[in-house]
Copies of this chain bind each other. A is one copy, B any other.
């Protein structure tokens, strides 16, 4: 998606350790017009697939998923939580995932009543690198007996293994920008 690639080239900042900062428009400050265009693009790419629910994970995925949902007939969005909250009670689906971003293990939690057997789910998230967060969301869908129709990603780091691994497992992963390489010294970012 050219609009997203252009924004990443203009505003993305590459840091040592494979960190790509896009916090001026994607995951701290949010450009909701861009989010809507991303929703339109995912709607084109997943056209024909049934989508009963959009599943994402706090925090950065929520805004993207909610605005994108307005392009999927206002499909309900469920965001997985990363920690227990008094807003969570009742029976829960829980998966354990490692976060390379934060250097720790998280639990990913969804209340059972918001994900049901046989529901068709579109997973949306901001980044795909190693795919650990997605593994957790997929595991939760499996626990629920829900069907993962597709995975919509804003920015995939193509040089990290998550995307390849998930596609080889048969998931329809649609990343709107796939970074082929990036260089913290020169700041140069190339796309596939």
- A residues with a Cβ closer than 8 A to B are 15, 17, 19, 21, 23-24, 27-33, 35-36, 58-60, 62-67, 69-70, 74-79, 81, 85-89, 101-102, 110-111, 113-114
Contacts and interface: CB of A to CB of B under 8 A. Distances in A.
What is the predominant secondary structure among interface residues of chain A facing chain B?
Answer: mixed
29 contacts: A21-B89, A23-B87, A23-B88, A23-B114, A24-B114, A28-B78, A28-B79, A28-B87, A28-B88, A29-B114, A30-B65, A30-B76, A31-B74, A31-B76, A32-B67, A32-B70, A35-B66, A36-B70, A58-B58, A58-B59, A58-B62, A59-B62, A64-B66, A67-B67, A67-B70, A70-B70, A86-B101, A86-B102, A87-B101
Nearest to A65: B63
Given A28-B114, A30-B77, A77-B32, A19 B86 contact: yes
